[in-house]
Structure 1
């Protein structure tokens, strides 16, 4: 039987929309985008916490083929990213393909019918010739399993489910977590609450944020002369790659860049926090880049305010009206905010159950062996399947670099299918193994293996101790290989309908 769709895309964030745009370019219009939320935008729809903003320069954090000349700031607030997502969906007519409030429970390759069967909660499954998962890297929130948390009598809010109606004014609040989200959130909520206690497991490296309003005249110039915005994008991308990516991934060759970034972060803290003891508690004891660093000009000064308290002792238990730490200190609170990040390696890779040829379970196979994906997009034993948020796929600092390189890979692969009149593809074991070996060797030059990452508690590392998210090459290399990978790396067959 012919499948219902040529393709199913899981996820209506920027990754899923990029995949949809590429399918449209290829002349494939019979596809559906399944999204569990009630609207598109992915993380920029789900996250609405105070202070939300992109932590990569806005001019870089967008599709290169669909620039937005009207960013209000160098680091745009989250609401502008959501509006940009809406604009992209409207321009490329994507909403007609989207089904919201649709929870995909899993997908199974039907060997006899040569198509995918996608299970959906509460309704009949759908079938598709091709399956593309675009569920993002940070889509499965981590809820800490703290003793007594279910007994807390006050308000609990996770940053991915922010309650806009809840008034923080005058509250005694606690926030657990000091990652990139908390760095944005803490200064904002500190302005409203009566008391704020920040529970820190691991300090974060923070460097100055050169964030300015983009004048209307500059926005008009970008709109009228797109080449000027392209030049700004190229400059921003190049500087970020040189200063940040090289410092992390090419630690062996340019260790001085890593040390320079660390010195900048230390100087930034010293300039904002006079108290030596407080600086000591906020200073990471791992190398710069082991855990994702971030930018902020107001995070550190927040801790100098009299009603803001930093707690570094581990949490022993949560009581109905308080948090008790291992040293016996008890802090009364009425509001508990969880900035505890996401669970990548246990439930996000993949975010749904995917069963390939011969019953291979992708998540189980990854966890029992090694996390791997050829060029960050395809896996042996999983025909007609592309995983767009996968091991070794994240290239550069901007997620859009990853998205567009994967779009290019899709284009080359599907055009070859069309040229041959074929309907199935599967990456070879040989090509996958060679790519994995090459990525592993290159990561040997990174700060993850040559620096001091012990105690960083970084989500970059999986259960096997491998930093398997980032692609340890330049973005130029990622794009070049996406457009020129050997076609013989895939087994291509079948007859198109």
Structure 2
């Protein structure tokens, strides 16, 4: 049974902890804060990096910033009236996370530079064996996986990629030692990261060639700096929360097209087309930048400087695909060879694979890959049958296309705490979601997802797994998810004594 102590106690485990949190990004830190608030202090946070921060530590590419307004991309209980901009840059978000760790006393629980290599459930002891790099194994009653989905860079399968002799790197692993000034730079990929860094490097490079497989839908970015006066107003009692509420409902209104009827996305499509037409006068370039699928099928992007960057004299857009990469060039599908000094991959992350490729062994020695042989399935993205006391944050089908995932994280954290309280009330050692409840939940999930824009919008995206099934996005409003995860239904779980 998990140990719950008085809030006045600050006991940090030195041996085996009662609970292990994997990852020190928004998910892991938020979980740690709420565990302490609920009186659970016997836990550690294992972080593979030498510093906390997750995505906001790793991504340091030029122009890196959030594409969700700052007042919503933060914990609801720790509002920050000091954001410099409506869409805060990477450095500020990372600093915000460090501030939260300091304020809520999470530092003593952190174990940095500790990479988890496997999780294995001990049926007899009802405990998890958490093996970390270097040979040590921790034994814990429960594990919370807060590793997120955007931390394993994805590289395209292009013939000859390993032959390239110049500098090459993924945007999530930006090599700041590489000088781009005067260089011929190739950018492969035009996703959320590329639309941020392309405008920053375009004036620097001698020649920039952007290889686009599928054009994204882009809205103008309503970004602006907060003036000193605005900062003072936001510090008034209730002001920052009022702004957050307003932004929340504005963003939530976008879910009508996602969750009700894809035809309602037409208003967003018109805004995107108007944005493109206002920034790109060349009709040929405009055609190449106009998507041929329903807006929202892929992630909608926000940028007010990406299109202008593509109209620069030293920038060219290639849309026919890539045939191969040679020692000092990239050859497009038409056979044109583009001399290249540096290749930057803006090709996103392994999202659906991030969970399924981990070494996790549950009850009866069942590997999670076998449990998910027919596709990743969980219960509200948090628990999965056969893996007692293992909880996922930002797990399958809890991502969003319209609002802040931090809101979802807080809902999931609250649910996990309720699970722990259920264990404390009943004296059970563990709880395991019942397979029939998980199947019923996923059946309803598929029924909702299949007719919606992500599956019926005419595109392929990282939302979908190899079978074309959406394992990433929540198909409803965020307030609906919040309501459904407010309370734990004991009948949905097997209690293990």
Name the TM tier (shorter chain): over 0.9
| Whole-angstrom distance in 2 between the partners of 1:452 and 1:209 | 23
Size of the aligned set, in residue pairs, is: 484
Are the aligned partners of 1:250 and 1:445 in contact in 2 as well (CA < 8 Å)?
no
| Residue number in structure 1 paired with 2:108 | 96
Map residues 94-493 of structure 1 onto 2, 5 A cutoff. 94-225=106-237, 227-243=238-254, 245-251=255-261, 255-256=263-264, 258-346=265-353, 348-350=354-356, 352-366=358-372, 368-395=373-400, 397-449=403-455, 451-453=456-458, 456-493=459-496
| Whole-angstrom distance in 2 between the partners of 1:126 and 1:87 | 28
State the shift of 1:357 in Å.
0.7
Are the aligned partners of 2:259 and 2:477 in contact in 1 as well (CA < 8 Å)?
no
Are the aligned partners of 2:352 and 2:472 in contact in 1 as well (CA < 8 Å)?
no
Q: Describe the SS at the equivalent of 1:289.
A: coil
Are the aligned partners of 1:176 and 1:337 in contact in 2 as well (CA < 8 Å)?
yes
Q: Describe the SS at the equivalent of 2:234.
A: helix
Are the aligned partners of 1:152 and 1:320 in contact in 2 as well (CA < 8 Å)?
yes
State the shift of 1:77 in Å.
0.7
| Whole-angstrom distance in 2 between the partners of 1:304 and 1:240 | 30
Q: Describe the SS at the equivalent of 1:119.
A: strand
Are the aligned partners of 2:269 and 2:295 in contact in 1 as well (CA < 8 Å)?
yes
State the shift of 1:26 in Å.
2.2
State the shift of 1:223 in Å.
2.2
| Residue number in structure 2 paired with 1:42 | 54
Are the aligned partners of 2:258 and 2:475 in contact in 1 as well (CA < 8 Å)?
no
| Whole-angstrom distance in 1 between the partners of 2:395 and 2:20 | 17
State the shift of 1:444 in Å.
3.5
| Residue number in structure 1 paired with 2:31 | 19
Structure 1 gaps of 5+ residues are none
| Whole-angstrom distance in 1 between the partners of 2:356 and 2:32 | 20
| Whole-angstrom distance in 1 between the partners of 2:358 and 2:36 | 25
Are the aligned partners of 1:140 and 1:343 in contact in 2 as well (CA < 8 Å)?
yes
String of CA shifts for 1:332-364, please: whole Å, max 9, x gaps. Answer: 111111111111223x02452111112221134
Deviates more, 1:433-442 or 1:61-70: 433-442
State the shift of 1:445 in Å.
4.3
Are the aligned partners of 2:61 and 2:197 in contact in 1 as well (CA < 8 Å)?
yes
* 4+ runs deviating over 6 angstroms: none
String of CA shifts for 1:283-305, please: whole Å, max 9, x gaps. Answer: 11111011001101011111111
String of CA shifts for 1:200-251, please: whole Å, max 9, x gaps. Answer: 11110000111111112222222232x11111111111111112x2222222
String of CA shifts for 1:297-327, please: whole Å, max 9, x gaps. Answer: 0111111111000011221111111111121
Q: Describe the SS at the equivalent of 2:253.
A: helix
Are the aligned partners of 1:374 and 1:435 in contact in 2 as well (CA < 8 Å)?
yes
Are the aligned partners of 2:50 and 2:113 in contact in 1 as well (CA < 8 Å)?
yes
Are the aligned partners of 1:249 and 1:445 in contact in 2 as well (CA < 8 Å)?
no
Are the aligned partners of 2:298 and 2:454 in contact in 1 as well (CA < 8 Å)?
no
| Whole-angstrom distance in 2 between the partners of 1:487 and 1:473 | 24
State the shift of 1:329 in Å.
0.1
Q: Describe the SS at the equivalent of 1:425.
A: strand
Q: Describe the SS at the equivalent of 2:81.
A: coil
String of CA shifts for 1:90-122, please: whole Å, max 9, x gaps. Answer: 111112111122221111101011100111122
| Whole-angstrom distance in 2 between the partners of 1:64 and 1:272 | 36
TM-score by length of 2: 0.94
Are the aligned partners of 1:106 and 1:354 in contact in 2 as well (CA < 8 Å)?
yes
| Whole-angstrom distance in 2 between the partners of 1:284 and 1:463 | 22
